[in-house]
Every structure is written in structure tokens, then in C-alpha cells.
């Protein structure tokens, strides 16, 4: 078995001990990407030259007797809304398709300092707005379990890259479930940390009070180690918590004996039977392992979806006002500034981004602000208080990750409300700022993975990931990746982009 298919800690140890070089590991990852990209399209950019330079630096440090870090030589993929110096950061949008940041985001820098090798920028729903990666301006990413189905979104490329074994680790952003939902669809582990635990400096903003960077891994241990490296205070982010990075990996094997687990009833009737049954089975497994499990009703959680789809578009309408054809990004000329601005935004933004900007602008407009945005913020406060009350009784909560398993391409594109419902179970933790993780735990009748979500109070990652590790240990075989791309009996989606194409100095954007 290849080292790429083992644990991240073991791979880094093999590189540090010179059993294998970082360059050799990288070349295997690049070969896998080249083989799979035509079918999957996980990447917008493959960073050949930059990645090879990083791998060479890791091997050079080891040869000189220095420890390159916890992730020495580990290939990692980055969602294409994280700024990378010298490499395009497109947010899968035409308005930024040629933009090259002059700096690295904090997470990108910390990964490099830990010895990780960034191999490319992954595809996403444009500006992270979507639940299927069908909104990318450069074409959809496909689910390696079934090429006719979506990988989830918005971090679909990052989830699919780990699920297919192209890279052991990837990073995404989670604004309303954009890590946990694709993790569930693709059979991998996806962690959304406490708001402020991981710096957002260098993350292109969608909704600033909700966005959070998190990790994908094939196992809980891999995702936890990645989060350890990425977390910690950053003075460049005013919302960053002034706390050191938590110790997560060392406690994963402590078990769940004596922990109080609440099973959220309110979602069980709202999701597909395969998803509710997986959550119930997870609770039964935790009870068998020594936890105290009890059903709990938190009806306020159902306020999350309508509140989110006011708050997030409102913040997006403000954040995306900067793309005006003047400062950077796409510019479509016109006879005057107003026309130029309108033409630029019409040509540069896709339909879903335009829809959310209009919703958000309306919600913030005079005469409607209090009725919509103010009311949504009040609902958010009610939800947070309900969470606080629940966590007085329970150490963690268990719920479905998603209302369904991966759906077919085009199944929900004509009905935005149906698509928005994909985030029903994940949105509450974004509104509260609490951590949550999706763990693969079952297969549905079509053989597709189904995730179970573990939720915890703020800074509850150590206990949350202990519970996730306990679930992982008893999950049925075959519920998680890596899997090689599987053909589908349904039609494979077409349109836009192939895979990421390598270019000089870092990469050329697919579809650009």
C-alpha cells in the first residue's frame, strides 16, 4: 500500500526519517491527480513548480538535520478561496479568474511552516455559495463514489480530492456547512472548528460572522492533526481567539466512557431515513461504548435555515461590493463608471451569487432592515441560547450531517429552496460559532456514504473529536475513502472545465 493511503502522521514520520523523500511523495500525488482530474475536476490550479520547490525545501531541511514540521512532506490541497502568493485565487468566479494574490493567507503559511506541500487549489461553488459545486464558473466537481452525483459544496473539490486519495489532507471553508456537507457526501471526515480558532486572514470573505476554515481527512486523526497545525491566535485577524492551538490528537483514544450525549430529535423527521437511521445507530454505538445517551428536542435549531439565508446574503452583499471593476479582478469597460460597474458585475458573477447579493441588499435596505436582517439576528440569538441550555445537560450533541446522501447533478438546480435545504443540519453551528464534525458512518441503499455529525460547545473540539474517533472505530467497513472514481449508471455531468492545468510559476486556472 502506498504511504499516501496511510495516516498523515505516519507519512510525515516516514519523510522525516528519510524512508521516503518529500519529492517522491509529491510525484505520486501529482500522478494520481493527473490520472483522475479529467473525470473528477477537483482542482482549478495544480501548483507544479511551487509544490516541487516546497518538497525540495523539505528534503533539504531534513538533509541538513532540521525538523521541517509535523506535516513534513504531506501533500495538501487548498480551497480556491484561500490566498496563495504567486498562484491564482479565483473563488471559482470569472470576476477573479486572473487574480494573483501578493501574499499567503495565515493557514497557507502555517501549513508551509509545518512542512506540508500545497499541490493545488480546489474547485468550489462560486464564492463558496452553494451546496453542490455546480455553481463553479469552471465546471462541476464530480463525486468519486458516483460520477453522476455531486460531491456537495461549497468545498466539493477539497472533499472529493481526499475521498479519491489524490491527497491525504485538504482544507475548505465552512459558512453554513460547506465542509461537513461535502464530507458526508464523499465519505471523509470534515471539521468546522470554533469561530475564531483558525485565522481567516487570507480567506476571501463570503459572510464574515460565519466563515471558518477547517480540515478534511480520511480519518479523524488526520483531520485533527491538520487542525492542530492551522489553529492558534493570529494578530492579523481581529476575530482570532487569543488562545494557543489546542492539543487534539493525543486525546483521541480516551474513549467516551461517562460522556453525556444528546441526540437531536428535531432533525430526525426532516431527513431521509438513511440519514436519521445513521444518527440513531451512532447514538446506540456510543451508549454501548459507555456514554450516556438521551434524545433531546431543540426546536430552535429549525430557525437556523431561514435566519442564515438572510444573514449570509446580507454580509455577502457588503463583502462582494469590492468587486467593482476598479480595484482588481475583471473589468468590462463602459461609457461611464456606473455602466462599467454594472457590466463587470453582470459578466463576472454567476446566477447564484447575483441572487444572494440581491437578497442581501434588499434585506439591508431602508424600511426592510429591521423586518428581515434585524429579525434574523434575533432568531440567531434565540438559537444560541437554546444551544447554551442544551450544553448544560450534554457534553456533545449527535445529529445527521445532511438531509440526504449525494444527489444527482441537476436534481436541485432549478429549485433554490430545495438546494438550500441541503444545509438544514449544519447551519446552526455556524450561527452559534460552535464546532462540529461530520464522520462517515453508514452507506445508503445505493452504496453511497452517509455522515453523522457531532456538535460541541465553543472550544469543545477535544471532546468532540474523541466522540468522532469512537464512532469511526465502530463504523461499518467501506463507509469512507479513499475510493477510485466510480462510473455511474446516470449521465455524467458535462459543461465547463476539465481538470486543473499546470502552468509556469504555480499554475493556470482551468476554464480561465
For residue 443, give the H/E element and its range: strand 436-443
Pick the catalytic residue from 136, 154, 215, 240: 154
Within 10 A of 461 (CB to CB), how many other CB atoms are there?
26
Is 154 in the active site?
Answer: yes
Is 412 in the active site?
Answer: no
Query: Whole-angstrom Cα distance, residue 254 to residue 105?
Result: 34
Is 215 in the active site?
Answer: no
For 272, counting Cβ atoms within 10 Å of its Cβ (0-12 exposed, 13-18 middle, 19+ buried), the class is middle
**DSSP one-letter string for 170-234:** EEEE-SSSTTHHHHHHHTSEEEEPPTTTB--TTBPPS-TTT--EEEEESSHHHHHHHHHHHBS--
Pick the catalytic residue from 21, 155, 178, 405: 178
Query: Whole-angstrom Cα distance, residue 315 to residue 322?
Result: 12
Taking a C-beta distance cutoff of 8 angstroms, is the pair 426, 433 a contact? no
Q: Which of 115, 27, 109, 117 is nearest to 71 (CA)?
A: 115
Count of positions (residues) in the chain: 512
Strands 117-122 and 449-455: unpaired
| Orientation angle between helical segments 304-319 and 375-393, nearest 10 degrees | 130
| 160-165-167-171 Cα dihedral, nearest 10 degrees | 30
Phi, then psi, of 434 in degrees rounded to 5 = -85, 160
Residues with catalytic function: 79, 154, 178
Amino acid at each position: 500500500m502506498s504511504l499516501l493511503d496511510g495516516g498523515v502522521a505516519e507519512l510525515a514520520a516516514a519523510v522525516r526519517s528519510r524512508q521516503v523523500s518529500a519529492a517522491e511523495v509529491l510525484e505520486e500525488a501529482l500522478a494520481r491527480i493527473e490520472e483522475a482530474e479529467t473525470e473528477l475536476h477537483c482542482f482549478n490550479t495544480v501548483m507544479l513548480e511551487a509544490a516541487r520547490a516546497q518538497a525540495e525545501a523539505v528534503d533539504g531541511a531534513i538533509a541538513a538535520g532540521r525538523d521541517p514540521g509535523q506535516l513534513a512532506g504531506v501533500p495538501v490541497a487548498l480551497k480556491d478561496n484561500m490566498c496563495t502568493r504567486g498562484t491564482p485565487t479565483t473563488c471559482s468566479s470569472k470576476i477573479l479568474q486572473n487574480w494573483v494574490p501578493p501574499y499567503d493567507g495565515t493557514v497557507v503559511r502555517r501549513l508551509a511552516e509545518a512542512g506540508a506541500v500545497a499541490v493545488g487549489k480546489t474547485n468550489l461553488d462560486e464564492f463558496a455559495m452553494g451546496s453542490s459545486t455546480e455553481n463553479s464558473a469552471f465546471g462541476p466537481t464530480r463525486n468519486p463514489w458516483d460520477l453522476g452525483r455531486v460531491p456537495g459544496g461549497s468545498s466539493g473539490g477539497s472533499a472529493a480530492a481526499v475521498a479519491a486519495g489524490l491527497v491525504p489532507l485538504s482544507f475548505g471553508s465552512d459558512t453554513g456547512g460547506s465542509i461537513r456537507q461535502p464530507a458526508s457526501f464523499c465519505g471523509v471526515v470534515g471539521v468546522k472548528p470554533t469561530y475564531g480558532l483558525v485565522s481567516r486572514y487570507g480567506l476571501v470573505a463570503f459572510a464574515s460572522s460565519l466563515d471558518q476554515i477547517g480540515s478534511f481527512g480520511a480519518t479523524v486523526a488526520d483531520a485533527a492533526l491538520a487542525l492542530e497545525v492551522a489553529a492558534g491566535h493570529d494578530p492579523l485577524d481581529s476575530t482570532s481567539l487569543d488562545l494557543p492551538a489546542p492539543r487534539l490528537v493525543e486525546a483521541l483514544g480516551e474513549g467516551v466512557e461517562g460522556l453525556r450525549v444528546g441526540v437531536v430529535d428535531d432533525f430526525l423527521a426532516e431527513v431521509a431515513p438513511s440519514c436519521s437511521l445513521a444518527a440513531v445507530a451512532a447514538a446506540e454505538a456510543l451508549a454501548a461504548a459507555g456514554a450516556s445517551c438521551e434524545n433531546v428536542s431543540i426546536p430552535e435549531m429549525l430557525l437556523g435555515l431561514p435566519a442564515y439565508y438572510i444573514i449570509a446574503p446580507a454580509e455577502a452583499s457588503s463583502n462582494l461590493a469590492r468587486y467593482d471593476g476598479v480595484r482588481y479582478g475583471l473589468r468590462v469597460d463602459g461609457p461611464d463608471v456606473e455602466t462599467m460597474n454594472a457590466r463587470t458585475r453582470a459578466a463576472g458573477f454567476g446566477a447564484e451569487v447575483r441572487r444572494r447579493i440581491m437578497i442581501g441588499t434588499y434585506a439591508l435596505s431602508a424600511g426592510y432592515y429591521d423586518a428581515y436582517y434585524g429579525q434574523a439576528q434575533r432568531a440567531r440569538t434565540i438559537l444560541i441560547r437554546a444551544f447554551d441550555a442544551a450544553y448544560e445537560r450534554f457534553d456533545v450533541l449527535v445529529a445527521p450531517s445532511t438531509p440526504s446522501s449525494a444527489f444527482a447533478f441537476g436534481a436541485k438546480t432549478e429549485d433554490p429552496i430545495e438546494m438550500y435545504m441541503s444545509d438544514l443540519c449544519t447551519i446552526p453551528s455556524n450561527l452559534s460559532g460552535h464546532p462540529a464534525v461530520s464522520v462517515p458512518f453508514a452507506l445508503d441503499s445505493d452504496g453511497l456514504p452517509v455522515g453523522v455529525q457531532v456538535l460541541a460547545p465553543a472550544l469543545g473540539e477535544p471532546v468532540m473529536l474523541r466522540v468522532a474517533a469512537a464512532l469511526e472505530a465502530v463504523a461499518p467497513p467501506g463507509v469512507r475513502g479513499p475510493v477510485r472514481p466510480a462510473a455511474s449508471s446516470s449521465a455524467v455531468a458535462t459543461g465547463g472545465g476539465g481538470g486543473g492545468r499546470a502552468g509556469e510559476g504555480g499554475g493556470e486556472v482551468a476554464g480561465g
